[in-house]
Amino acid sequence: MALRIDGKAVAAKVKARAAEETAALKERGIVPGLAVVIVGSDPASRVYVNNKKKACQETGIYSEEYALPEETTQEELLALVDRLNKKPKISGILVQSPLPKGLEESALVEAIDPQKDVDAFHPYNVGKLMQGRQIFLPCTPAGVIELLHSAGVEIAGKDCVVIGRSDIVGKPMAMLLMQNNGTVTVCHSRTRELSDICRRADILVSAVGKAGFVTGDMIKPGAAVIDVGMNRDENGKLCGDVVFAEAEKIAGCITPVPGGVGPMTIAMLMQNTVTAAKLQNGIGRN
Ligand SMILES: NC(=O)C1=CN([C@@H]2O[C@H](COP(=O)(O)OP(=O)(O)OC[C@H]3O[C@@H](n4cnc5c(N)ncnc54)[C@H](OP(=O)(O)O)[C@@H]3O)[C@@H](O)[C@H]2O)C=CC1
Ligand SMILES: Nc1nc(=O)c2c([nH]1)NC[C@@H]1CN(c3ccc(C(=O)N[C@@H](CCC(=O)O)C(=O)O)cc3)C=[N+]21
């Protein structure tokens, strides 16, 4: 049976570290602050945003939430981002995706001050990541790397397969695995012989968004299986991309959903908010 990686426990450690740093900053009169902007009433987004708020409370990070109606215009959002860019109390800005139709996400992300871009979605930060000179690590992929470390999985020299090539998960995930000296293959909807490629992976990361996508026969015995997917099954229950019951019999270690990557995303966001506050106050990392 595979080792079940406890994302909640690892996230608690990351948050504890962020809380310590926050306390130290507060002694110097600096309070890290996060602004979360959510537009419309997507129920899943609501849950994530509430989790982010709770994490801020746990770590002592100041937070502001802007819950805006579905009808909000691009101009109104841009004006809000501009205000938050200039607001000293705010170290980090996150615009929750997806946005309602008609709003242009990329223009909004580009309007965020790169020094406050705690998601690391701004093209400046994406470029920095490509060069391995990033100031912020992308939260979900960085969370995955932490989980692998926590389970004692070595990345260097390993065959890593990422399923999914989105800007927010797949691509930055591949980049971070490469930075950690993995040999990375990225698969997507046009990939041929996907199962065969997956079966060669020592580390398999699934970020597809389809329940039941990764079956036991796609997993190499002993592999590390990381499930980024957040889906609802036919009963409305939260589940990942991986058929967990099959995979845990074959994998060496595996992350569950819930309780795997999700909590790590939020913990890394707290870490990035602390980093942002330090940066804006001329304090180097560590
Ligand atoms: N745990 C967390 O913190 C987070 C979880 N998520 C979850 O992760 C999942 C992925 O998110 P995101 O990257 O934004 O999703 P996207 O929909 O943007 O990307 C999905 C990717 O999967 C690929 N794909 C779809 N179908 C297939 C297929 N049949 N075979 C191979 N590849 C396929 C797509 O390929 P193509 O490019 O060719 O279309 C695409 O690259 C979602 O469930 C999301 O909810 C997301 C962010 C954070
Ligand atoms: N700008 C932006 N940044 C994001 O980081 C971002 C986003 N938009 N849009 C949506 C995705 C998704 N995401 C998750 C965060 C927490 C959990 C999480 O806490 N999951 C819990 C359970 C949550 C539940 O109970 O539903 C778990 O897996 O255990 C999941 C997913 C961040 N995202």
CATH number where 107 lies? 3.40.50.10860
Which atom of ligand 2 has the smallest separation from the CA of 261?
Answer: 28
Contact call for residues 275 and 139 (beta carbons, < 8 A): no
- Residues 92 and 169 placed together within one structural domain of the fold: no
Are 50 and 152 within one domain? no
What residues flank ligand 1, with Cβ below 6 Å?
140, 163-166, 168-170, 187-191, 194, 207-209, 228-231, 261-262, 265
- Is 284 annotated in some ligand binding site? no
CB contact set of 203 (below 8 Å; sequence gap of 6+): 148, 153, 155, 158, 159, 160, 161, 177, 182, 223, 224, 226
Residue of the CA atom closest to atom 18 of ligand 1: 166
**Is 70 exceeded by the pLDDT of residue 286?**
no
**Closest atom of ligand 2 to CA, residue 47:** 26
> Which of 66, 230, 242 has most ligand 2 atoms within 8 Å of CB, for mutation?
230
ipTM above 0.90, yes or no: yes
Judgement on whether residues 143 and 118 belong to the same structural domain of the protein:
no
Residue 269: inside a domain: no
Distance 223 CA to ligand 2 centre (A): 25
Q: Among 65, 93, 122, identify where a domain stops.
A: 122
Lowest-confidence segment of 24-28, 108-112, 215-219, 280-284 by average pLDDT: 280-284
- Any catalytic annotation for residue 101? no
Has 166 been labeled as part of a binding site?
A: yes
Residue 273 banded pLDDT, cuts 50, 70, 90: very high
Q: 86 C-alpha vs ligand 1 centroid, how far in Å?
A: 34
Quote the CA–CA distance of 19 and 1 in Å, as a whole number. 35
The ligand that comes nearest to the alpha carbon of residue 259 is 2
Indicate whether 148 and 244 sit together in one domain: yes
Is residue 52 flagged as an active site residue? yes
Residue 112's closest CA among 129, 96, 134? 96
Asked, for residue 183, whether it belongs to a domain, the answer is yes
User: What is the tens place of the pLDDT at every residue in 103-140?
Assistant: 999 999 999 999 999 999 999 999 999 999 999 999 99
Does 51 map to a domain?
A: yes
Q: Which of 119, 202, 227, 241 is catalytic?
A: 119
Q: Is residue 13 part of a domain?
A: no
Cβ(284)–Cβ(278) below 8 Å: yes
What distance in angstroms lies between residue 283's CA and the mean position of ligand 1's atoms?
36
Q: Which ligand is in closest contact with the Cα of 44?
A: 2
What whole-number distance in Å separates Cα of residue 216 and Cα of residue 249?
8
**Residue 160 counted as domain residue:** yes
Q: Does residue 149 sit in the same domain as residue 208?
A: yes
Ligand 2 atom index nearest CA of 8 = 29
Domain that holds residue 67: 29-122
Q: Does residue 174 share a domain with residue 109? A: no
The mean of the pLDDT values for the chain is 97
Which of 96, 115, 134, 271 is catalytic? The answer is: 96
Is 96 among the residues known to form the active site? yes
The pLDDT, as a whole number, for residue 284 is 75
Q: Residue 285: what pLDDT?
A: 53
Ligand 2 centroid to Cα of residue 219, in Å, is: 25
- Give me the pLDDT at residue 43, please: 85
Please tell me whether 164 is known to bind a ligand: yes
The predicted-structure confidence for 29-53, as pLDDT tens digits, reads as follows: 999 999 999 999 888 888 889 999 9
Tell me if 6 is assigned to some domain.
no
If one counts the domains in the chain, the total is: 2
Write out pLDDT tens, residues 198-245: 999 999 999 999 999 999 999 999 999 999 999 999 899 999 999 999
HSE toward the beta carbon, residue 245, CA cutoff 13 A: 2
CATH number of the domain bearing residue 249:
3.40.50.720
**In terms of Cα–Cα distance, which of 165, 169, 168 is closest to 121?**
168
| Residues 175 and 238 grouped into a single domain | yes
Q: What percent of the chain has pLDDT over 70?
A: 99
Residue 275 within a domain: no
Cβ atoms within 10 A of the Cβ of 204, count?
28
Give yes or no: residues 216 and 115 share one domain.
no
How far does residue 169's CA lie from ligand 1's centre (Å)? 8
* The length of the chain, given as a count of residues: 286
**pLDDT computed for residue 11 by the predictor:** 98
Q: Indicate whether 168 belongs to any domain.
A: yes
Q: Give CA–CA dist 84/119, Å, rounded.
A: 15
